[in-house]
Structure 1
């Protein structure tokens, strides 16, 4: 299994999902070697093999490396690309110029990867492919499972070496991150991975349709397996530093998550319910614009930007929240609403999200309908009975959405895929 991040070092839902899937598959008796670009030493991997790609020695004269070496030599990242967490523009170019001499000379030594989402990301993705081939030759395995575009080429390289079937797991597509203005090199990596994979897992029917319609993949090649949430006892509500109600947005402050719709709705809500505070928890390339927009609307005194939260900070934020809002423009799934419901917080989500397929006890609006979003927020804040009903019934949704069910479905896909290829 190839991933790009693993708890506790995560920047979004991808690492959380990988942990949930791994945990669930272990319960099904699946033995897993999970590969990440680098390890920090504090990961929880007591029951499976967690492998760092960094420090892997590769002799590029060996068969199977030439194609991936040539790809690496023809890539030069000239601007930042960070599809999950960034404060910079998400653009990238590819060219025909080679890497610097010092990088080329390092090919005969150990590769070191940062695992970061920075200006060297595309180079690291290509290096990861080389390392994927090496690891596949060293570790016994029956199937290869690659999570999101960052690892697709590593999965393809591993399959070339071992001949084992490749499953790719689509947690998000470039259309989710960038809309119609896709980054072409990333789209091409996604398209290649989807086309050549033996089977594809999509985190929602919403994502499955994008894969079929935008990438031209046959429908029978794509299965839907919804994400889950780990059982977690949530303690009593946190004491708030203010008496006002708190409405929370938590996620990357970037196009995909629809932060601007949250701010516009907040402005309308404050005209109906003045004793409300709005919190935007996260970081991203639209942060500065959102701060300026709140100032333009003269609601800065009612708006709080916390920056990126993690661990206990997330739990405390949920514990102070009266409403959670996820107005995503395009959300393949969306684990955050499940976490909010688990913390006994009513949730409002966009219809353009995969999680809307499996939540019965959430208010659903179109991301662009700011009036409907504002009305929904105001209603939950003003009518205690409505909020209480969503809190009580939300536990039913959470009970059904567990990673164990996800693990069972994925194992079935493993078995059916290997049987088809025999």
Structure 2
């Protein structure tokens, strides 16, 4: 049975770049509650403690400079990060024995594999997304080809691969020529309690963004092409014209920020909404509570955590009919609506419908509140631990 695990990730709270940090934190903390000793090896900055206890998890941080924005430079930065993680990990392995090394995505793949070999432990790799998916298959030239090659190597050297959706299992098996039997599906979890306002937390005044009679549409995530925000912006002018009294918020940052702002200006949307830039979790959770609708227009989406968070916050959602979003928002208009991915006109029709049909909104909110309870971190941790134990006993648990 796995009693001590080394989890390797490039981000861990309070350093948060995206959903991976939240996943690593919640999984680690739940494993600790289940009796597993978890050590997280990750990066830090000049303010970070080298070693600290966070909610029962022992976190070891390697100080790293801020990463560069250029992709070529970023890939070189990742190589140095892996070198530094490997040095720190080897020193840690001289102090402690580890039963399993659990790696998250390509950014820490090299260090994780070498550490697993050094300690003689099985390597579990969770694939949260792929470069192939992020770039719609355009991975033929560097640096995308370098990342794609690393991901292919990563899944083939791992003793077990985990993905967050059945869509991702087929995707990973297909693009990396990997037997699906080697890929376990464990959906991400959500803790509705994390989304509730904390004592002393400032309350966001909805009046900052919309009048009482106006509907407020929320778009959340990294501002990159594959998240599809350009599709949502294209849909908004017709929605505003037909529904009236509609405003929007874009919360997030990324390489497409300036392009999306320029698009909004071209479409005459500047007076109808606000780009907030990057926001922290507390602010994000407050936005779900004041929004009338969350739209997840992704062109590529391995899972769809934003949709789960919106539903857990009693905010109706519309998602693209693509990838893992199909599993988070099942068919039948029971917990949310879908639109044809990439189709701005269809998205506009669905937004107009949800903003004007109060009985539909109320029904979706009630049913979604129950639906999200099926994505439980206790279950995620139990299924993950079953994989650890299966590797150690020679009877790999096939998680479907």
- Separation (CA, whole Å) in 1 of partners of 2:346 and 2:67: 34
Q: Which of 186, 196, 199 is the aligned partner of 1:234?
A: 196
> Displacement of 1:32 after TM fit?
0.8
Q: Hey, what does 1:92 align to over in structure 2?
A: 72
| 1:135 maps onto 2:92 in alignment | yes
Distance 2:84 2:190 in 1: 32
Matched, 1:221 2:182: yes
Could you list the per-position Cα deviations for residues 257-315 of structure 1 after superposition, in whole angstroms to 9, with x for gaps in the alignment? 11111111112211211210111111111111111111111121112100011132112
Q: CA deviation at 1:421?
A: 7.6
Distance 2:381 2:28 in 1: 8
Matches within 5 A, 1:23-422: 23-38=29-44, 40-41=48-49, 45-54=54-63, 88=69, 91-92=71-72, 120-182=77-139, 183-232=144-193, 234=196, 239-241=206-208, 242-243=210-211, 244-360=214-330, 361-420=335-394
Residues 1:328 and 1:234: Cα distance change in structure 2 (over 3 Å): same
Please, what TM-score do these two structures have when normalized by structure 1? Answer: 0.82
CA distance in 1, matches of 2:53, 2:243: 45
User: How far 1:222 sits from its partner (Å)?
Assistant: 0.4
Q: TM-score, normalised by structure 2?
A: 0.86
Render the CA deviation track for 1:100-136: whole Å, top value 9, x for unaligned: xxxxxxxxxxxxxxxxx68723332343344434433
1:15 Cα shift?
0.4
**Contact 1:318 1:345 survives alignment (8 Å):** yes
Mapped to 1, the partners of 2:359 and 2:97 lie a distance apart of: 56
Structure 1 156/2 Cα, relative in aligned 2: closer, same or farther at 3 Å?
same
- How far apart are residue 9 of structure 1 and its match? 2.1
Note if contact 2:12-2:22 (Cα within 8 Å) is conserved in structure 1.
yes
Superposed displacement of residue 320, structure 1: 1.8
Residue 16 (structure 1) shift: 0.6
Secondary structure of 1:368's counterpart equals: coil
Residue 110 of structure 1 corresponds to: none
Segment of structure 1 superposing worse, 367-376 or 356-365: 356-365
In the alignment, the residues of structure 2 paired with residue 254 and residue 119 of structure 1 have an alpha-carbon distance, to the nearest angstrom, of: 21
Counterpart CA distance in 2 for 1:21 and 1:317 is 25
CA contact (8 A) 1:203 1:226 kept: yes
Structure 1 segments unaligned to the other structure (5+ residues): 56-79, 83-87, 94-116
Structure 2 CA distance for aligned equivalents of residues 166 and 196 of structure 1: 8
Q: Check the 8 A contact 1:247/1:323 in 2, yes or no.
A: yes
Q: Does structure 2 retain, via aligned residues, the 8 Å contact 1:279–1:306?
A: yes
Residue by residue over 1:387-421, the C-alpha shift from the partner in whole angstroms, topping out at 9 and shown as x without a partner, is 11111111111111111110111011111122228
Structure 1 residue 81 displacement after superposition: 8.1
Secondary structure in 2 aligned to 1:200?
A: strand
* Aligned partner of residue 99 in structure 2, secondary structure: coil
Kindly indicate whether the alpha-carbon contact (under 8 Å) linking 1:7 and 1:44 is maintained by their aligned counterparts in 2.
no
The whole-number CA distance in structure 1 between the counterparts of 2:227 and 2:324 is 13
For structure 2, the 5+ residue unaligned runs are 1-6, 198-202
